Amino acid sequence: MPKKTLLLIIGFVFLWNSGFIGAEYGLPYTGPFTLMFWRYLILTFVMLAYLLIRGRFRVIEWATAAPNMLVGFLAHGVWLSCVLLALEQDVPAGIVALVVALQPLATGAFSGLAVGEPTPLYRWLGLIIGFAGVAFTVLFRMDFSEPASVFGYLIPLGSVIAITIASLIQRRMEVKKGERRLPVDLSLFYQSGATALAMVLPALLVEGFYLRPETPFIYTMAWLILAVSLGAYALMWLLIQRMDATRVASLFYLGPPVTMLMAWITFGDTLRGTDVVGLLVVLVGVLLTQSKLKAGFKSIPAED
């Protein structure tokens, strides 16, 4: 693996998963939808200023804007809303990250159909092993006597569905090299704008734009905007340009141990024995998914 790609992976995994910690820091000061609204409204203006200064801003036709805005709504709006709602239900940040790590299985299942990239059998095996590790950990965390507990642990599945669809749409635009593909910075502007617009009604109707703009919240928002929304998402799309959709998606399996470590340092969250076992199983799945084994395995061809 090229060193530049490895550095992109390390940076992405760290920044992406710091978003779980930042979100948990911000929720005591506002509601999930209001946090999302202000985060992406500010990000939209930051991107607009950057594009104007660099002379890269341009108004694009709806046929091109629509898929990019859809990617933003799914990858930012739906994905993060489900994460925040789960955290609000007191689901630990590390477990939310673990549930979200189911995305690679979904991406692997539909990548061939949507993008035309066949998934080798050894990679399917790695994805299934990773899924087993996630399921093992989550099932031991659920309190089946409390419907609210079960519901809270299922909310992040919405994130899985949303980011999977967004990744496949983005990857398809990369592979097809058509007119709808935009530079990362311009695409992020339209994506963040679409997310801010989508959050207006739920923030107003559900939360009344409730907000306590205290210093910790301001610092948290700065990190979420600059490090996560700008840094992590830019790295993700750069990786999608270099790697097929399934291998990029499998990087989400590395999120749970990183997030759990961060949550332990910042919030004192404790690991259970079943968490450790699940993480080790997930690690086996990641290593197999990212490997380059060829002998003895055939690819599953994409359908025409």
Query: Is the distance from CB of 169 to CB of 47 less than 8 angstroms?
Result: no
Q: How far is CA 154 from CA 28, 74, 83, 142, in A?
A: 22, 18, 10, 10
Q: Which regions of the chain are under pLDDT 50?
A: 294-304
How far is the C-alpha of 122 from the C-alpha of 286, rounded, in Å? Answer: 11
Per residue in 88-142, pLDDT (tens digit) is 888 888 888 878 877 766 776 676 666 666 667 777 787 788 778 878 888 887 7
How far is the C-alpha of 134 from the C-alpha of 121, rounded, in Å? Answer: 20
Give me the pLDDT at residue 147, please: 73
Give me the pLDDT at residue 53, please: 95
| Contacts (Cβ under 8 Å, ≥6 apart) of 77 | 36, 40, 162, 194, 195, 198, 199
How far is the C-alpha of 180 from the C-alpha of 176, rounded, in Å? Answer: 9
Give me the pLDDT at residue 169, please: 81
Give me the pLDDT at residue 42, please: 96
Give me the pLDDT at residue 209, please: 93
How far is the C-alpha of 145 from the C-alpha of 103, rounded, in Å? Answer: 27
Boundaries of every domain in the chain: 3-300
In the chain, the percentage of residues whose pLDDT exceeds 90 is 26
How far is the C-alpha of 206 from the C-alpha of 200, rounded, in Å? Answer: 10
Paired tokens of 195: 């997310």
- Sole residue written with tokens 């200023």: 49
Give me the pLDDT at residue 180, please: 63
SS (H, E, C) the chain: CCHHHHHHHHHHHHHHHHHHHHHHHHHHHECHHHHHHHHHHHHHHHHHHHHHHHCCCCCCCHHHHHHHHHHHHHHHHHHHHHHHHHHHCCCCHHHHHHHHCCHHHHHHHHHHHHHCCCEEHHHHHHHHHHHHHHHHHHHHHCCCCCHHHHHHHHCHHHHHHHHHHHHHHHHHHHHHCCCCCCCHHHHHHHHHHHHHHHHHHHHHHHHCCCECCCHHHHHHHHHHHHHHHHHHHHHHHHHHHHCCHHHHHHHHHHHHHHHHHHHHHHHCCCCCHHHHHHHHHHHHHHHHHHCCCCCCCCEECCCC
Mode of pairing for the β-strands spanning 119-120 and 299-300: antiparallel
